[in-house]
């Protein structure tokens, strides 16, 4: 199974980066407008879940 999940793990890592970018964009917009960030907590929770899934699929973990 070594390397079997590499492609999926890479996709999950990319999604986690996109979620992080979305979270930062939300915070920037919040600072500019003075309004609370939109879905900031939900975005962060989703990013952490995706990062956890990528970690579980990494070669360093045994399944």
In this prediction, residue 38 carries a pLDDT of 82
pTM of the model: 0.82
CA 22 – CA 52 distance, rounded (Å): 18
Let me know if residue 28 belongs to a domain: yes
Residue 21 lies in a domain: yes
Instruction: Report whether pLDDT(63) > 90.
Output: no
Confidence of residue 61 (pLDDT cuts 50, 70, 90): low
In a domain, 61, yes or no: no
19 domain residue, yes or no: yes
* Residue 14 domain-assigned (yes or no): yes
In terms of residue numbers, what domain contains 22? 6-56
- Over residues 8-58, the pLDDT tens digits come to 999 999 999 999 999 999 999 999 999 988 888 999 999 999 999 999 998
Per the CB < 8 A criterion, the answer to whether 19 and 47 are in contact is yes
**Measured at the alpha carbon of residue 12, what is the angle toward residues 8 and 14, in degrees to the nearest 5?**
115
- For the chain, the domain total comes to 1
């Amino acid at each position: 199974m070594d390397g079997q999940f590499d492609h999926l793990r890479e996709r999950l890592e990319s999604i986690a980066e996109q979620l992080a970018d979305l979270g930062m964009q939300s915070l920037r917009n919040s600072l500019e407008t003075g309004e609370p960030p939109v879905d900031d907590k939900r975005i962060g929770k989703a990013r952490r879940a995706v990062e956890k899934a990528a970690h579980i699929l990494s070669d360093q973990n045994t399944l």
